[in-house]
Structure 1
Amino acid sequence: MLSEAAHGVFTIACTPFLPDGALDHASVASMTEFYLQRGATGLTLLGVMGEAPKLTQAESLEVVRGVAEVVAGAVPIVVGVSAPGFAAMAELAAGAMQAGAAGVMVAPPSSLRTDSQILDYYGNVARMLGDTPFVLQDFPLVTGVQIAPDVLLKIFAAHPTCVMLKHEDWPGLDKISALRRASDRGARRVSILCGNGGQFLPEELARGADGAMTGFAFPEMMAGVVAAHQAGDRARAQDIFDAYLPLVRYEAQPGRGLAIRKHILALRGAIKHADLRAPGAGLNPDAIAEVAFLIDRQERRLAELGL
């Protein structure tokens, strides 16, 4: 089961599709192997970049079962179960746990406006999920919900099954520092894994984060940065990050990031097809050429660093 001790790199997995829009089960398996071989210590399915709203609940569980079969318990699986209503959330969470998940992830609905509404919402989430451990996804750029550190600390204190914060506030480094200072003073400490495509990973680790939960197409970058940081070599962590930064930046384009990520994953053999499920378009020739240029430049820089 997922716990407060979780750390490392929980790669946000994409959802592979065939050109006709059907789930690509073979690519689910090859993608999972790809992530594990490149340093993932956990996998997160059906997140914002997993096209979860485009899947039926039955398809969502097919993806979880496909990944769990390959993982075979080697690393924990977190499944996004955010939904407009608690009934759908509870059903998907129960199915995901039965299929092999170690925990679930819940983002706040955009309708929440006050601290009391946020506290009440996550109180209901905790009661509805029962013993299932969950991740609180703090992603105000997408949800529009701002959760202050003191509100997060109240949620952590009141609900032991909230074991992780997926930190995606931006700018949000001071939030990490505030949470870690509070835990140093005796507040409950939960795992903090960070998203936003890894754009601030070195700084987030320095502020006290336990790792990354994001889906950059080169997960070995996150694994390398986290390993170097844990070894106390902050300069090497920054060198690794800097080598990949142009592609990190390019993949972070709003509205196009997933198409870029899937294109690169297909180039790398992780998935067979780069298709997004409709509605969603792939890359035009200009973008494909830009990606090729950046990958070539990245490979040369990594060779210079002996990576």
Structure 2
Amino acid sequence: MKSFIDHNYILIIKELEKHPNSFIPKIKDCFESINVVYVNYTTQLSNYKYNPLFDKKYLFIIEDYYIFEQIYKSLNLKLIFPVFLLRRNSDELLLKSLLHAANIPYYIYNNPFTREDAVHLLLCSASTEDINDDLIKKILSKTGLSPRRILEAAMILNSVGYTAANISKHLDKNVFVSNMDILDVVLHYPKMSKRKYTSVLNYIMTYRNSYLSYIKKELLKEIDLYITVYSDILTGVVSEKGVTNYIAEVSSLTSYKYMHILELLELKSINQLKVVKHFIKQSNFLQFVSVL
């Protein structure tokens, strides 16, 4: 695999988040860990002007389209091997247009997520019970070929049991509680309905055994997104890009979620979000439920 790293181009990997057979670990194995960089808003390209130790290049892993748009022209492909993780098909045309216009070579690697991956690499491996083909079919009819939803389904059914009745009851799209709903409770969002509040509490208590292994990690990702959007609104990035373009470029952000975050901005400061993030990061289950 190292041979393809010797060439100067940008690698775009099309794969869904939480893909069980992600291509990223295979690429990372070609580099020393000190030379692997997960690029974010604080990454300074000036720190990567010289040859790395032990490798020919640094490995840059980029997941955010907006960050990529800011730095792609400044990447020294002789020193940096950039990998962009393409999670949304809508970003593909934007990426191609950018790179074509700048005459920057690139290669797109498609890492599909198949039904076999869903069944054998995710569902069966995450399940605490043996599940038959009929139950598998019912689960996938609720989740579709979404690694995230399949893992959520396994987390839920590991707690309540793998039965047709539980699949119908707990995996209905209207029953699923989102990370946004949970954060609304933690942040004491004043417009939350009593029904939604009760649903969140029931969800947290029902799946309490998965708090440390799953729920907590997902909440930290969600509040990181909130903090990023807050920061971009306050620093004028959103105004500069335009709301529609900004939403299209930020991974995991929808128009509905953006409007909700905008409303929260009038109620909670960015420092309050950072305090909540720190609390979640340090909390165990009992500490977490004590603030709900």
User: TM over 0.5: same fold?
Assistant: no
- Give the TM-score normalised by the residue count of structure 1: 0.29
Q: Of Structure 1 and Structure 2, which has the larger fraction of its residues in helix?
A: 2
